[in-house]
C-alpha cells in the first residue's frame, strides 16, 4: 500500500498524495501532513467522493473543513498562527 493510502471498512482505496501538502496564504503558508491525517481519520472525513479525489482548497473551505474539524474533535490547531507560518 502506498504511503498515505488507507483501508476504510470493507473498501480498500489507494491514494497517492504527497506526504506534506503546502498551501500559500497571505498571512503565512499552511502545511498539511496527509499521512498523519489519513492514519487517524477515515478518508470520508475530508473527501466527499470515493475513491478520494484531490480537494480544491481555498480560505473558506480550509476554515470550514480543517479548523471546523479541529474544533469539533478538540484536537489540532485552531488559532491563526498555529497553522499559518510566516
Structure confidence by residue, pLDDT tens digits, 30-63: 999 999 999 999 999 998 888 888 888 899 999 9
1 assigned to some structural domain? no
Average pLDDT of the chain? Answer: 83
Quick count: other Cβ atoms within 10 Å of Cβ 38?
A: 20
70 is in an annotated binding site: yes
Rg (CA), the chain: 13
The reply to whether 53 falls in a domain is yes
- Known binding residue 84? Answer is no
In a domain, 69, yes or no: yes
pLDDT of residue 18: 78
List the domain range (segments joined by +) for residue 55: 6-83
> Which helix (H) or strand (E) element contains residue 80?
helix 80-83
- Its sign, for the CA torsion 48, 76, 59, 35, is negative
Q: Is 69 annotated as a binding residue?
A: yes
- pTM recorded for the entire structure: 0.69
Residue 47 marked ligand-binding: yes
Is 60 within the bounds of a domain?
yes
**Ligand-binding site membership of 83 (annotated):** no
- Whether residue 80 is annotated as binding a ligand: the answer is no
Phi, then psi, of 24 in degrees rounded to 5 = -80, 140
How many domains does one find in the chain? 1
79 within domain boundaries: yes
In a domain? residue 43: yes
Check residue 15 and give its pLDDT: 55
Amino acid at each position: 500500500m502506498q504511503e498515505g493510502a488507507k483501508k476504510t471498512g470493507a473498501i480498500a482505496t489507494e491514494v497517492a498524495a504527497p506526504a506534506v501538502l503546502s498551501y500559500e496564504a497571505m498571512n503565512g503558508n499552511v502545511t498539511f501532513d496527509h499521512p498523519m491525517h489519513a492514519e487517524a481519520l477515515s478518508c470520508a472525513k475530508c473527501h466527499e467522493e470515493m475513491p478520494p479525489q484531490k480537494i480544491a482548497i481555498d480560505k473558506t473551505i480550509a476554515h470550514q473543513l480543517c479548523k471546523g474539524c479541529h474544533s469539533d474533535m478538540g484536537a489540532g490547531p485552531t488559532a491563526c498562527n498555529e497553522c499559518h507560518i510566516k
